[in-house]
Structure 1
Amino acid sequence: MGRITELLDAAHSRSQTHAWSFAGALLPHEAHELLQRAPGARLIDVRSRAELELNGGIPAALHIEWQSWPGWVPNPHFLVQLAQATDPESLLMFICRNGARSHRAAAACTEAGRNHCYNVLEGFEGDLNKATGHRNELNGWKRRDLPWAQT
């Protein structure tokens, strides 16, 4: 069994355990590894433009807002923009701040007929540390020292 298969099997198992509709759920380091190993894999950052400007972004990611700031207005063109920017057979990995919006994006894309949709758990900034009130302390893309840049 190859490494890509191992990563996808782990992601599928997580999704089945939670009865999620999309293909699987990846940890940030797994998503990063898949970007390196799986030809045609795409990381879709669904955070708002404001979040990218304030908190930084992932150089390899395609940015398509799920919701816009201010007001967190849903992007009515999300699925069309995604279809225009990606191959229908691509493995798509969705990431947001903490994994909640990317979860919804992966589910919506699966419902729309895309077969290879994955949520990146923990997201870019990770879970909120309730002891300090801060993100980027417990987990997430940045905390795991994966590639990112201030925009």
Structure 2
Amino acid sequence: MSQFNQILENARGRAVSKGLAYAGEVTPAEAWALVQAVPSAKIVDVRTHAEWQWVGVVPGAELIEWKSYPGMVANPHFVTQLKAAVDSEAIVLFLCRSGARSHDAAALAAQHGYTAAMNILEGFEGDKDAAGHRGSKNGWQAAGLPWTQG
């Protein structure tokens, strides 16, 4: 079985075991491998403009806010913006800070016809470490995957 197929099988297995309303969950490393292997696969970063600017972004990711800072008000145009940016037949990998907003975005995308909507586990910054800081315990940054400062 190819690495690509193994990643998709693992992602689907996680979704089934958790009863998720979308296609699957992938680790940051699996997400990066899918983007490298499948040209139509897209990472959609659903964090805020402030997070993109001050924390960093994944090169090539689509940037569509789920909620806006500072009030964390839901983006009423999220689905419209997603449909304009990403084909509903593509593998869509949603990313946020820790995996919570991206979970919600993947579920909404699936409701709107995105059959391969997936959540990137751990998010961009990951969980807090013992000192209460993000970015070193797990997540995209801790995995050493490509990103740039805003």
State TM-score, norm by structure 1: 0.97
* Partner SS, residue 94 of structure 1: strand
Write out per-residue CA displacement over residues 38-81 of structure 1, whole angstroms, 9 at most, x where no aligned residue: 12000000000001111011112110000000100100000000
User: Identity over aligned residues, as a percent?
Assistant: 45
Write out per-residue CA displacement over residues 106-132 of structure 1, whole angstroms, 9 at most, x where no aligned residue: 001111221010000000000122x21
2:17 aligned partner: 17
Amino acid at match of 2:143: R
1:26 aligned partner: 26
1:2 aligned partner: 2
Corresponding residue pairs, total: 150
* Partner SS, residue 44 of structure 2: strand
2:140 aligned partner: 141
* Partner SS, residue 141 of structure 2: coil
1:96 aligned partner: 96
- The separation in 1 between residues aligned to 2:79 and 2:31, in whole angstroms, is 21
- The separation in 2 between residues aligned to 1:36 and 1:111, in whole angstroms, is 26
1:109 aligned partner: 109
User: Which sections of structure 1, spanning at least 5 residues, go unmatched?
Assistant: none
Amino acid at match of 1:142: Q
Residue 150 (str. 1) matches residue 149 (str. 2): yes
State TM-score, norm by structure 2: 0.97
Written as runs of structure 1 = structure 2, the 5 A alignment for 1:39-54 is 39-54=39-54
1:71 aligned partner: 71
Contact 2:126–2:138 (CA under 8 A) maintained in structure 1: yes
Which aligned runs of 4 or more in structure 1 are off by greater than 3 angstroms?
none
1:58 aligned partner: 58
Write out per-residue CA displacement over residues 10-34 of structure 1, whole angstroms, 9 at most, x where no aligned residue: 0011111111111000000000000
